[in-house]
Chains A and B, each alone.
Chain A
Amino acid sequence: MKTGARILLEGLQREGVETIFGYPGGSVLPIYDELYDSEIQHILVRHEQAAAHAADGYARASGRVGVCLATSGPGACNLVTGIATAYMDSVPMVAITGQVPTSMLGNDAFQESDITGITMPITKHNYLVKHAADLPQAVRDAFYIAGTGRQGPVLIDIPKDVMTAQLEEVPPVGTARLRGYQPTYEGHALQIEKAVGLIADAARPVLYVGGGVIAAGASGEVARLAELMLIPITTTLMGLGAIPCDHPLSLGMIGMHGTEAANYAVTECDLLIAVGVRFDDRVTGKIEAFAPNARVIHIDIDPAEIGKNKPVDVPIVGDAKSVLQRILHRLVKKEGREGWLDRVRRWKEAAALGTDTSAALGPAYILAEMSDLLGENGIIVTEVGQNQMWAAQHYCFRRPRTWISSGGLGTMGYGFPAAIGAHFARPDETVVDVAGDGSFQMNIQELGTVAHYHIPVKVVILNNMYLGMVRQWQELFYDRRYSYTELPPVDFVGIARAYGVDGMRVEEKADVRPALLAAFESDGPFVLDFRIEREANVFPMVPAGAAINEMIGRRQR
């Protein structure tokens, strides 16, 4: 005889799950009872939202499906922000929630919520499993859906009586059985042929690559295509790390806080090769003025993204890696794009960073020092806001899956728990959460989790005592009326110590490097509270709704 809870855990193990993040409660007690003896490692977070973000960070750092667990009602609802975050960034995740017994469903029972109804718009798919015999197949299908095609979160809701039901015979598990779900991996041959022709003939091509390239493991193919055909590359926020920041053909990030070189190059290109991107408004700015003179090739695994925001000349539905391989196979080395490459190089040089000679402690200096110290060895997770954009601009990402950030939803409070998840996925790497003082306070209770398990995550707070990005918008677009964006000073080191976590406050430039070294050399968690200049801004910036070549705050020469 096996209980539903046992069957669930066996299902998870069959899918290769080693670590899950969760928080117990009445409706999941049968699962927790089974976990007590299980080989699966369970990490107790301090808030269910953190469980979802940790599962998400685990997935992004490893490329495997992340798993979180919560009880019914409030526990399940607390996962919602984390699930929505994963949905917007196409992160493979399975969220398991407890539910009131089937006999109580729909009765407004204690701690009941219709979590499948609530999460319908923010999951790739979800299940309410009403019979223990359905559990093995539901788990198999859920992992298959989460981890294939355009990846995303799947929720499995399990009533308590289904967890306790005793089964004499557990139904065998086959392959996933989904007649309505057949993702396309191979691009259409004719479209690939057309793309090859356009790439060979273009005079001013640009590669525009995003998170889909990271998900598909297609970084190598992107670099080969760029090098073979002499094509400059820009990445989206989600695509950072797809190409080394110091690659000669790299233009850096595109969009609202993108580089001048990237934004000008896309504006002037005659062929835009978009790979694993979705033409988000934070990238395109005014859509009519985005790559206005270019033909567009769009490679994406999700057919619904193609042509959604921007008309496309050559749509290719498929996996970025296999499609690029087939394109590469047909191309011969390009000569003579020197004029275009020279032009791009001049934009890059004109906007290159000078040496930071100011006395004030600024974010760029801290991030550059961090980048220098960690070299190729770090995973950078961020919160949301100025800290995120500074990290995207000033840290040099060289490998895929070393940049972990909430792009689509822009979830404050994401970084710290996601960093915890990233650590369990990649325990060999130094994991740093780049935070703002506002964002860090949104899931600051996870100091308890890092202390409890001695998780060596480093928190680098760029503390300006503001909700910095909102304040920046108020400065630029609301006549400096700082309505409710100023935060009183907080003794973050004191809070960290209260949880049993080491910390240090830094106010001088000269102390930055020693403080970072102390944090990186510590074998446990560490909080660094950098008191930075209060009104530093993220520049360049494209005002919302403007064309991407209409940047403000360009660096002065």
Chain B
Amino acid sequence: MKAHTLQVLVENKAGVLSRVAGLFSRRGFNIESLTVGTCEEPGMSRMTIVVLGDDAEVEQVKKQLNKLIDVIKVSDITERSTVDRELALIKVAAEAGDSRAEVMQIASIFRAQIIDVGTRSVILEVTGDTEKIDALETLLRQYGIKEFVRTGKIALLRGSKGAKAQK
């Protein structure tokens, strides 16, 4: 099992997310993250889906996705040169004093922003690849993570090549 990153161009219509998500659950495919939003093509949205599985399973995922009428193009960009990012917001326990100073120091090393400060906690905003966010989470856990939310991965191919329309 390894993580595969799929870029899926879909019609921007009601119910499309449900069709895609339903396909994964119904066929027992293991979805790690799924992000979706509008994109440069009018009337279309771009999904970034990270799916866990062996090559044969992921091949089935791609073929089944392609069968959905609202799916315009599926590209497996796992082995290709991409930039990918996730955004996470982390609320960390940080009383005024030493621990808050340490948390702020860690944040600065990870180029995370402090976007809210409470009496007993701070909220960090961080973007980066999955590993970076995992690493930051591990470090902050010792202070006590009160809430943690991440967007899931978005990815684009590097350079001029893109996964445009046309199946």
Contacts and interface: CB of A to CB of B under 8 A. Distances in A.
B20 to A, nearest CB: 10
B64 A180 contact: no
Contacts of A124: 69
A38 B165 CA distance: 42
Nearest to B71: A180
A329 interface: no
A350 to B, nearest CB: 39
A45 B22 CA distance: 32
Contact of B68 (A117, A180, A308): A180
Interface in B46-68: 56, 59-60, 63-64, 66-68
Contact of A179 (B14, B67, B72): B72
B19 A307 contact: no
A190 interface: no
Contact of B63 (A128, A178, A181, A304): A304
Interface string A105-149: 000000000001100110011001000000000000000010000
A357 interface: no
A302 interface: yes
A303 interface: yes
B2 interface: no
A418 B123 CA distance: 63
A342 to B, nearest CB: 39
A39 B15 CA distance: 35
A358 interface: no
A182 interface: yes
B76 interface: no
B66 A116 contact: no
Interface residues of A, number: 18
A457 B166 CA distance: 48
B129 interface: no
Most A CB contacts (10 A, CB to CB) among B18, B19, B26 go to B19
Nearest to B60: A308
A180 B19 CA distance: 14
Contacts of A179: 11, 72, 165
A184 to B, nearest CB: 10
Contacts of A182: 167
B70 interface: yes
Contact of B69 (A117, A128, A145, A302): A145
A177 B12 CA distance: 15
A304 B69 CA distance: 14
Contacts of A128: 14-15
Contacts of B73: 180
Interface string B12-37: 00110011001000100000000000
Given A120-B18, A182-B167, A125 B63 contact: no
A283 to B, nearest CB: 19
Given A145-B69, A180-B71, A304-B66, A117 B165 contact: no
B143 to A, nearest CB: 43
Q: Which of A145, A178, A179, A308 has the most CB of B within 10 A?
A: A179
Contacts of B68: 125, 180
Interface string B124-151: 0000000000000000000000000000
Contacts of A116: 15
A178 B18 contact: no
B69 A180 contact: yes
A180 B68 CA distance: 8
Given A179-B72, A180-B72, A121 B26 contact: yes
A181 B18 contact: no
B18 A303 contact: no
A522 to B, nearest CB: 46
Nearest to B19: A120
B60 A120 contact: no
Interface in A285-340: 302-304, 307-308
A302 B18 contact: no
Given A116-B15, A179-B165, A180-B11, A121 B69 contact: no
Nearest to A149: B67
A121 B19 CA distance: 8
Contacts of A121: 22, 26
Interface in A360-389: none
Interface in B66-120: 66-73
A302 B67 contact: yes
B97 to A, nearest CB: 51
A304 B64 contact: yes
A391 to B, nearest CB: 32
B132 to A, nearest CB: 35
A252 to B, nearest CB: 31
A327 B101 CA distance: 74
B36 to A, nearest CB: 15
Given A125-B69, A180-B167, A308-B60, 4 more contacts: A120-B15, A180-B10, A180-B70, A304-B60
21 contacts: A116-B15, A117-B18, A120-B19, A120-B22, A121-B22, A121-B26, A124-B69, A125-B68, A125-B70, A145-B69, A178-B69, A179-B165, A180-B68, A180-B70, A180-B167, A181-B69, A303-B66, A304-B60, A304-B67, A307-B59, A308-B60
Interface of B: 10-11, 14-15, 18-19, 22, 26, 56, 59-60, 63-64, 66-73, 165, 167
Interface of A: 116-117, 120-121, 124-125, 128, 145, 178-182, 302-304, 307-308
